[in-house]
Structure 1
Amino acid sequence: MSRLQLALNVTDIDEAVAFYAKLFDAEPAKRKPGYANFAIAEPPLKLVLIEGEGGGTLNHLGVEVDSGEEVRAAEARLADDGLATTGVDDTTCCYALKTETWVDDPDGAPWEVYVKTGDAEQMHSSSRSAEEGDACCAPAAGRESVALGSAPSC
């Protein structure tokens, strides 16, 4: 089963969790300091909340798939279609072990195609610095969050 992922930056994780629990009538599937995710059955959605500056902005988008083979197939298809991808990597991101690839949309919104392969006790792999965490686990350092409901800036 594939599902879309929406990762949002929030200013107060407790308020955000309370709101989204009511909105989707669901409790978080995972809760860590400054982090929560919901595995929502209907509509099929992985909602990720990341506490920090930039509340109300998009952190990143994703497509969660069932296997590493699906990640590799998606990466190959995207690259064959002329899109710049990051290649396929095994990473630690958002308190999970993942096999993933990344691509940016024309306006710079980061998308990941990934499969979760296990749980992790840290937000990022030890090789990542805190400054690189602005777009969760997006591979490019210094990515800017995308403001929800705003037009792209020039």
Structure 2
Amino acid sequence: MATTRVQLALDVDDIDEATAFYTRLFGVAPHKRRDGYTNFVIADPPLKLVLIENPGAGGGLNHLGVEAETSAQVDGALARFVEAGLQTRVAQQDVCCNAEQHKVFVTAPDVPLGFWEFYAVTDDNPANPEGASTSVCELSCAAGGGEQVSCCG
């Protein structure tokens, strides 16, 4: 059975300091480092930890998600959400956080930006990591975050 893990995306003031801290805390090296961005794939506890440098907003929650291993899992989750009557938005080739992803946004009350994202990484090193998409970044700006919201990448 393919695995899933909760994704926790945090705004941090200093990406280098935060990366060093979480490396020591979880005992694993970063999976990916880019300018202003780090992510960790942690086996125990199963967690995808994303750090987004956003000076002045450090310590805040950027967004929440669930990382699936396959696009089929995302499609299965979408079918379940639709059957449950949840409001969804699909982004099949989303380029966000320095990766191409197949994802579904689910509108949710009382969470940052008003949604959860369920996604699978389809290309962890795309040729155009800053490409246009319907991403958490675009939705953040559309939700009124403007200058307050750090876009991935």
- Scaled by the length of structure 2, the TM-score of the pair is 0.81
Provide Cα deviations, 1:1-25, integer angstroms capped at 9, x if missing partner: 1111101011100010011111111
- Whether the 8 Å CA contact 2:12–2:53 is kept in 1: the answer is yes
Provide Cα deviations, 1:118-143, integer angstroms capped at 9, x if missing partner: 12365542357xxxx8xx53635343
Provide Cα deviations, 1:41-74, integer angstroms capped at 9, x if missing partner: 1001110000014211111111111211111111
Any residues of structure 2 matched to 1:75-154 within 5 Å, and which?
75-109=78-112, 110-118=115-123, 119-120=125-126, 124-126=130-132, 136-137=136-137, 139-143=139-143, 144=145
- Whether the 8 Å CA contact 1:100–1:114 is kept in 2: the answer is yes
Identity of aligned residues (%): 45
3-state SS of paired residue (1:21)? helix
Structure 2: where are the runs of 5+ without partners? none
Q: Which moved more, 1:26-35 or 1:50-59?
A: 50-59
- Whether the 8 Å CA contact 1:6–1:45 is kept in 2: the answer is yes
Bigger proportion of residues as helix: 2
RMSD in angstroms over aligned alpha carbons?
A: 2.3
User: After the TM superposition, which segments of 4 or more aligned residues of structure 1 sit over 2 Å from their partners?
Assistant: 120-128, 136-146
Say if 1:47 and 1:107 are closer, same or farther in 2 by CA, change over 3 A: same
- Scaled by the length of structure 1, the TM-score of the pair is 0.80
